[in-house]
Amino acid sequence: MAQQEKPYIVEYYYKTKWGFAEEFIRLFKKNHYPILKKQLESGRLLRISAARPRLHATEDGRWDYRVTLVWKNVQATDDGFDEAQLGRQLFKNMETFKKEEQRRFEILIGHWDVPIVDVDLDK
């Protein structure tokens, strides 16, 4: 399968300030998840999932949420898609949207993206 035909998987990790994980996920679900769902409906994304650890880890290895996106292909991540335009279509009160998105990032300590590749253990 050609590279442009292969799904492209990225795990997005979010680490919040202590005590703010619930606020973060509430804002994520309210403001960012609808944008992702529209991309799923359009076919840019093939799957969206989220997870959180059951137990806590050491502070240096701690993360609060992992959102995994399966893109149609690697080109879909940089195809000129206007996410801001989609946000304007979905949210009538852009002032509130911008304020809440700013807050979502204010309560983060860290955020990192990890592209995932399969490892064939039988080769």
What tens digit of pLDDT does each residue of 50-96 get?
999 999 888 888 999 999 999 999 999 999 899 889 999 999 999 99
What tens digit of pLDDT does each residue of 5-14 get?
899 999 999 9
**Structural domains present in the chain:** 3-116 (3.30.70.100)
Q: Is the pTM of this model over 0.95?
A: no
Return the HEC string of the chain: CCHHHCCEEEEEEEEECCCCHHHHHHHHHHHHHHHHHHHHHHCCEEEEEEECCCCCCCHHHCCCEEEEEEECCHHHHHCCCCHHHHHHHHCCCHHHHHHHHHHHHHCEEEEEEEEECCCCCCC
